[in-house]
Chains A and B, each alone.
Chain A
């Protein structure tokens, strides 16, 4: 079974803080994704990555950056957290042969 883990289930940060959200997968998948999910807006793609070689912006990359120094770990960075970044953050990993994405449990981030 694919296992995707995220570093925290709940996180509370203050405006202006630098925030790191970590995601790890144990299936040697090349492709990983970061989404945020908000009521009424659905899942929105922030960034995605192919191995350590390539990172690509999704639909809402502003205010975020990513790091992928090892294939199994994909980190989302909020450079200076703002209240409008309060959301559920979901990481996913791709089984490329069948194009299936598997999600981690999510991190509910609150920015005060």
Chain B
């Protein structure tokens, strides 16, 4: 069983601040990394994918990947109350030909006005 660990939170930040979400994974051969956002009572929504070391920016979101340290993070700049959700980190299973992902248990983020 591959492990994906996230800081459990909850994480609480004021509006306008930077929220930092972290994830470590156990499978050194993983190649694909994802961040999902899940609002309460809703299904997970893919917000970021990253495949190579370094940073990837999309609007207010930046994903950072360090394969040597087996670490992936998500930064949310200028956090808004609408960013309040649970964020799931997911990592591909290198040994699966069927596209299996392993998910962390999520970090709950609250952005207060």
Contact = CB atoms under 8 A, between A and B. Distances in A.
B74 to A, nearest CB: 16
B106 A96 contact: no
Contacts, number: 56
Nearest to B104: A42
Given A42-B104, A43-B88, A100-B34, A90 B99 contact: no
Contact of B100 (A41, A42, A45, A98): A45
A103 B1 contact: no
A94 interface: yes
Contact of B101 (A50, A101, A104, A106): A101
A64 to B, nearest CB: 17
A54 interface: yes
Interface residues of A, number: 26
Nearest to B97: A50
B49 interface: yes
Interface size class of B (residues with CB under 8 A): 20 to 34
Interface string A27-44: 000010100000011110
Interface of A: 31, 33, 40-43, 45, 48-50, 54, 56, 58-59, 90, 94, 96, 98-106
Interface string B29-52: 001101010000011111001010
Interface of B: 1, 31-32, 34, 36, 42-46, 49, 51, 88, 90, 92, 97-101, 103-106
Contacts of B103: 42-43
Contact of B98 (A40, A50, A100, A104): A50
A104 B1 contact: no
Contacts of A41: 105
Given A42-B103, A48-B100, A98-B32, A90 B43 contact: yes
A31 B88 contact: no
A101 B90 CA distance: 10
A22 B15 CA distance: 40
